[in-house]
């Protein structure tokens, strides 16, 4: 397996000086390479990712596709290259996670992706809109966790401090799972937002910790539909993002009973759904129809 970073020579140009200056220097880049996921001897998908935590990524992807629900659904997982486990599919395509499901559990043909998933797209390869929606395993409406708004505003810095590869490259997204007491349970980095989330969900699956009741999932970018669905499938009641959610993400969050927080920056945030889980001055925030509503501003 390759490293998480790669070094290249670049031309550093500074135009603020008069005259401008240019010099060669070494720069550290976040690595991006293909990873094949194969289930029971057949290719499931090929995804572009940052190497590292590949077993977590594969396990989380299987949760996100609704293929597995618990660690007991997976009999074995191993990481190998295209020569040591290339007897069926993905030959010569780099690293492969080879998964064997428990007896009696199979992958439907519709679950197999039609082509490579890029680091920017977690739903690429789906053949129809109907395939985007995966049946949930947990009812997060039953999760009555309460999160202090003041604590939420401090969480992005905690996540940033834990991003070791971002600190050296500036080119990775991060996803972090915080426990009910506000402790950072796990953080994963990747060039793709959806990969970072799959990695933390896969970590939880392999720890036999699903559903992640009472937990908060924090992502470093925006909150898309696919990230909301991944949170719901992992049984996470709160998803917070430092940037904006999409309309479909908010719709799915409302339907599933997920608390969706966006524009979590500085001392402010927008709470789009299930605001009753967010404590403002010790009191739960209410939906727009109630006494207190979330600020609809943003930047």
Residues designated as active site: 121
Say how far apart CA 134 and CA 230 lie, in whole Å.
Answer: 9
SS3 178: strand
Could you identify the residue written with the tokens 């990695």? 199
H or E, element range at 61: helix 54-64
Q: What contacts 212, CB < 8 A, 6 or more positions away?
A: 177, 204, 234, 235, 236
DSSP alpha helix (H) spans, 109-161: 149-161
Say how far apart CA 169 and CA 54 lie, in whole Å.
Answer: 20
Read off the DSSP letter of residue 223.
B
Half-sphere exposure of 158 (CA within 13 A, CB side): 18
Say how far apart CA 90 and CA 94 lie, in whole Å.
Answer: 8
200, burial (CB in 10 Å: exposed 0-12, middle 13-18, buried 19+): buried
Q: Which of 261, 195, 265 is nearest to 230 (CA)?
A: 195
């Amino acid at each position: 397996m390759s490293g998480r970073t790669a070094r290249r020579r670049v031309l550093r140009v500074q135009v603020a000086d008069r005259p401008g200056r240019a010099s060669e220097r070494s720069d550290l880049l976040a690595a991006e390479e293909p990873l094949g996921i194969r289930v029971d001897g057949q290719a499931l998908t090929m995804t572009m990712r940052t190497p590292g935590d590949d077993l977590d990524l594969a396990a989380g992807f299987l949760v996100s596709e609704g293929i597995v629900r618990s660690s007991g659904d997976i009999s074995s997982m191993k990481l190998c290259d295209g020569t040591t486990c290339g007897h069926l599919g993905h030959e010569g395509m780099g690293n492969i996670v080879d998964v064997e499901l428990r007896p009696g559990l199979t992958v439907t043909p519709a679950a197999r992706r039609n082509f490579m998933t890029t680091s920017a797209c977690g739903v690429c390869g789906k053949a129809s809109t109907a395939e985007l929606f995966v049946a949930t395993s947990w009812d997060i409406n039953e999760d009555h966790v309460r999160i202090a708004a003041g604590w939420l505003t401090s969480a992005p810095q905690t996540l940033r401090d834990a991003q070791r590869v971002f600190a050296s490259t500036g080119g990775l997204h991060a996803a972090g799972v915080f426990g009910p007491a506000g402790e950072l349970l796990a953080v994963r980095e990747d060039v793709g937002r959806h990969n970072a989330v799959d990695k933390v969900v896969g970590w939880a699956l392999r720890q036999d910790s699903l559903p992640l009741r009472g937990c908060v999932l924090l992502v470093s970018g925006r909150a898309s539909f696919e990230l909301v669905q991944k949170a719901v499938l992992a049984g996470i009641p709160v998803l917070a993002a430092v940037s904006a959610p999409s309309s479909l993400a908010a719709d799915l969050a409302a339907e599933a009973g997920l608390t969706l927080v966006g524009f979590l920056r500085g001392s402010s945030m927008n709470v789009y759904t299930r605001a009753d889980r967010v404590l403002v001055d010790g009191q739960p925030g209410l939906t727009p129809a109630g006494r207190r509503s979330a600020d609809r501003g943003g930047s």
